[in-house]
């Protein structure tokens, strides 16, 4: 009987153990609906704007270029144009041995003296200058006739030089474009300097300065060619786009040119308001992502299927195809759903 009691006891203990194990499993295992708890949160689509920008400085720098060479020989006795002064046809630039040298517009340099019966494009350039000053009223036909000689004499008399009707080779410097802002070239030319002919004597500013963003290599990677920029100056806002990249010698700074639309100056007709004596730093907004308005959602709400189509999933699990119009800083503007729709975001509920 003893062995029978022991056997029954063992069976009873085993049964109790199984019962306890089942009970623990029942208590500790969560119900099936808890196991299926949502692995997402919800967010609501809303009306808004998406964009991204950098705020930097644009440097505006005028770069004068030599446009004329002196043909007079002697001593520079006066400089009659102020630095970057606007000059037109016939403006007095400087004197050599007390004789005035004037500026005139033309592509052909002053390579000879001009006298009666001379012909050529340089003669026509002279006639245009005399006409602009009111000393010649005939046609600019490129031939020195009596009317041109009379005009030369009247001009010479006004300058206070010998009115012999002959224009000396050193009396005029022709420049490509007028009016223009001009100055006497540097390199040590001052009153009292000796001139031998052939020296670069007149510098001219272009119609607009050069505009450039100076950025780090990291910033340059963010700014693509063609990126829109807005430059503020006084009460004006000038629009341009990023152009050519120019790596600087120090390898730490990169220059990105800023150009106007259709090759027009960034500063339009306001360029004269910028200092010509030193560079000007201008507040600039670089539009990395142009602002777009519409229905916005977090980027995380947008999924992509195997075919590459993008969609959002609403609260009930229905997928809605969408088109992303713009994305920046974790948000997107989309087409395809209305404002106020609750859509799913991946992640545990809090």
d(CA 86, CA 271): 13
Q: Could you give the domains of the chain?
A: 40-51+291-346 (2.40.420.20), 54-62+207-290 (2.40.30.170), 65-204 (1.10.101.10)
d(CA 332, CA 343): 14
Dump pLDDT digits (tens) for 258-279: 999 887 899 999 998 999 888 9
Q: Count other Cβ atoms within 10 Å, centred on residue 180.
A: 22
The token pair that represents 91 in the structure block: 């403006």
Give the model's pLDDT for residue 319: 95
pTM: 0.66
Q: β-strands 99-105, 172-175: how paired?
A: parallel
Q: Of 308, 307, 316, 323, whose CA–CA distance to 343 is shortest?
A: 316
Cis? peptide before 58, omega within 30° of 0:
no
Which residue shows structure tokens 């085993």? Answer: 14
Handedness of CA 120, 123, 125, 128 (dihedral sign): negative
Handedness of CA 215, 219, 221, 223 (dihedral sign): negative
User: Average of pLDDT values for 192-216?
Assistant: 95
d(CA 18, CA 36): 28
Give the model's pLDDT for residue 252: 77
Dump pLDDT digits (tens) for 213-248: 999 989 999 999 999 999 999 999 999 999 999 876
Is the predicted pLDDT of residue 18 greater than 90, yes or no? no
Q: Residue 229 in contact with residue 287, Cβ under 8 Å?
A: yes
Specify the 3-state DSSP secondary structure of 16: helix
Q: What angle (nearest 5°) sits at the alpha carbon of residue 73, between those of residues 68 and 79?
A: 60
Of 180-189, 267-276, 305-314, 336-345, least confident by mean pLDDT is 180-189
The token pair that represents 194 in the structure block: 């000796």
User: Average of pLDDT values for 322-341?
Assistant: 93
68 CB-near residues (< 8 Å, 6+ apart): 103, 109, 173, 174, 175, 200, 201, 202
Dump pLDDT digits (tens) for 34-44: 444 568 999 99
Q: Residue 174 in contact with residue 104, Cβ under 8 Å?
A: yes
Handedness of CA 250, 287, 273, 267 (dihedral sign): positive
The confidence band for 10, taking pLDDT boundaries of 50, 70 and 90, is: very low
Give the model's pLDDT for residue 277: 84
Q: Residue 323 in contact with residue 331, Cβ under 8 Å?
A: no
Give the model's pLDDT for residue 311: 96
Give the model's pLDDT for residue 6: 41
User: Average of pLDDT values for 205-216?
Assistant: 94
Q: β-strands 342-346, 303-304: how paired?
A: unpaired
Task: Give bridge partners of residue 5 from the DSSP assignment.
Answer: none
Is the predicted pLDDT of residue 98 greater than 80, yes or no? yes
Is the predicted pLDDT of residue 197 greater than 70, yes or no? yes
Which residue shows structure tokens 């916005």? Answer: 296
Give the model's pLDDT for residue 210: 96
Dump pLDDT digits (tens) for 290-319: 889 999 999 999 999 999 999 999 999 999
Cis? peptide before 81, omega within 30° of 0:
no
Specify the 3-state DSSP secondary structure of 100: strand
Q: Residue 128 in contact with residue 178, Cβ under 8 Å?
A: no
């Amino acid at each position: 009987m003893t062995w029978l009691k022991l056997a029954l006891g063992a069976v009873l203990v085993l049964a109790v153990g199984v019962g306890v194990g089942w009970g623990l499993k029942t208590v500790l295992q969560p119900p099936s609906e808890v196991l299926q708890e949502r692995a997402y949160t919800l967010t609501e689509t809303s009306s808004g704007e998406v964009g991204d920008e950098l705020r930097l400085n644009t440097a505006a720098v005028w770069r004068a270029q030599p446009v004329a060479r002196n043909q007079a020989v002697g001593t520079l006795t006066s400089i009659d144009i102020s630095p970057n002064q606007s000059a037109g046809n016939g403006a007095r630039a400087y004197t050599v041995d007390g004789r005035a040298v004037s500026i005139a517009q033309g592509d052909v340099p002053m390579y000879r003296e001009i006298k009666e019966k001379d012909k050529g494009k340089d003669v026509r350039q002279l006639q245009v200058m005399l006409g602009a000053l009111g000393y010649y009223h005939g046609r600019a036909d490129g031939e020195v006739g009596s009317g041109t000689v009379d005009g030369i004499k009247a001009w010479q008399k006004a300058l206070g030089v010998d009115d012999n009707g002959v224009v000396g080779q050193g009396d005029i410097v022709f420049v490509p474009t007028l009016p223009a802002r001009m100055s006497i070239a540097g390199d040590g030319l001052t009153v009292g300097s000796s001139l031998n002919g052939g020296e670069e004597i007149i510098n001219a500013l272009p119609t607009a300065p050069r505009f450039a963003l100076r950025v780090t290599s990291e910033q340059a990677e963010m700014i693509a060619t063609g990126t829109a920029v807005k430059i503020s100056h006084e009460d004006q806002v000038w629009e341009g786009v990023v152009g050519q990249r120019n790596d600087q010698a120090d390898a730490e700074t990169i220059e990105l040119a800023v150009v106007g639309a259709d090759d027009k100056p960034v500063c339009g007709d306001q360029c004269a308001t910028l200092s010509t004596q030193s560079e000007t730093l201008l507040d600039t907004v670089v539009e990395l992502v142009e602002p777009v308005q519409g229905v916005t959602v977090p980027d995380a709400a947008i999924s992509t299927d195997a075919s590459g189509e993008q969609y959002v999933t609403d609260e009930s699990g229905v997928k809605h195809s969408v088109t992303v119009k713009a994305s920046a800083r974790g948000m997107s503007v989309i087409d395809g759903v209305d404002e106020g729709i609750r859509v799913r975001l991946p992640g545990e509920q809090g």
